[in-house]
Amino acid sequence: MTVAVEEVLAMAGYGKDAAAKVKNHEVVHFNVDTLTTRELAAGFAMLVKRTPEDLDEVFLMSDKKEESDDSIQYMERMVDGTLDFSKVELMPAKSVKDSVKQYANAATSHGSDDLNLSQEERAMFAGLDKKNATKEQVEEILKKVLAKRLQDYQQKGLEGVGAYQRKSNKSFEPGAELREKTEKLAMAKKVAPEFMKYSLDYPNNKPTTGEVKEAYGWINFNIDDKPTFSIFHKVSYHDAEKGFYLMFHRHFYVSRGHNSVQAVGACFPVENEESLVMLASRTSTDLVAGFGGSAKKALGSRIMGGKLKANFEKYRTLSEKK
């Protein structure tokens, strides 16, 4: 069963011009309403010359992800239920000295906003010599931080996402914000209520209809020449009766720069064994909160959207190579 591009885009609120561009094999970038005060958001639609079944596997395994995003320094995927953190490393080389110093001072920096660490995680760095800490010592603690973050999320879902300690003993709750923005996805909840309930209640209330697949991994990004670690959870849902796939991609921990990232998308079969892929990506960052937030969000969303569009164009090209 196939669907018409025009009908699906119209259901999402987009007109004939957008449908024409998509059918012309353009990656179309849409403005997407932000759902929280700290959010940057961008939406995309494109046709890919692969079936939804093919793309489901590509999405879960991210086998083209590293090639399509040049900010990725290293990526590890879960194998046989185990996610290996042994290759966690501070890089690039020119940032190592500053990164070691920053983590070595994490316990006494009174919630420096540049590192996303809980109060307990900051305490883990307390035993390091602030002046003589080594790269290897910091990396060993980071491995434990990331492994514990994964364990807590797998056991408790969004309730297990630990707070980030901020300045003046304040804290930020990324898990609560992820819940808030997920609850506001009205269209996705209407199309697949069981799937969206699972995205909120994970690891509980897994859908009893349709097929659910999941994947985990971690990434070391180079953001502003600094190491940025994230742990992600991917879930795809196939409704065979209705013929579509839904997916969410959640970075439930990010070590710096952003608070979290979540993308929710859909994949529909269209004619000529192609797929219509639609996705809305939302990034939480403190940089757009507060005074002038609306203008900063608008500018930040445009910049982020441009970068993501370029990545999607590369990803589509790589995905179409069988």
- In the chain, what are the domain boundaries? 5-85+185-319, 94-165
48 vs 53: CA distance, rounded Å: 12
Q: Is pLDDT of 303 > 80?
A: no
Output DSSP code: residue 218.
E
Taking residue 193's Cβ as centre, other Cβ atoms within 10 Å add up to 11
Interval 267-276 mean pLDDT:
90
> Mapping DSSP to helix (H, G, I), strand (E, B) and coil, where does residue 238 land?
strand
Q: Specify the pLDDT at position 110.
A: 53
Q: Which stretch of 5-14, 256-265, 301-310 has the lowest confidence by average pLDDT?
A: 301-310
Q: Which CATH class is domain 5-85+185-319?
A: alpha beta
What the block records as the tokens of 109 is 């920096």
125 vs 137: CA distance, rounded Å: 9
pLDDT band at 291 (very low <50, low <70, confident <90, very high): very low
Interval 156-173 mean pLDDT:
90
Taking residue 285's Cβ as centre, other Cβ atoms within 10 Å add up to 19
Q: Name the nearest CA neighbour of 188 among 176, 201, 198, 177.
A: 198
Report whether 51 contacts 276 (CB < 8 A): no
- The mean predicted confidence, pLDDT, of the chain is 88
Give yes or no for a cis peptide into 203 (omega within 30° of 0): yes
% residues pLDDT > 90 (the chain): 58
> Mapping DSSP to helix (H, G, I), strand (E, B) and coil, where does residue 274 land?
strand
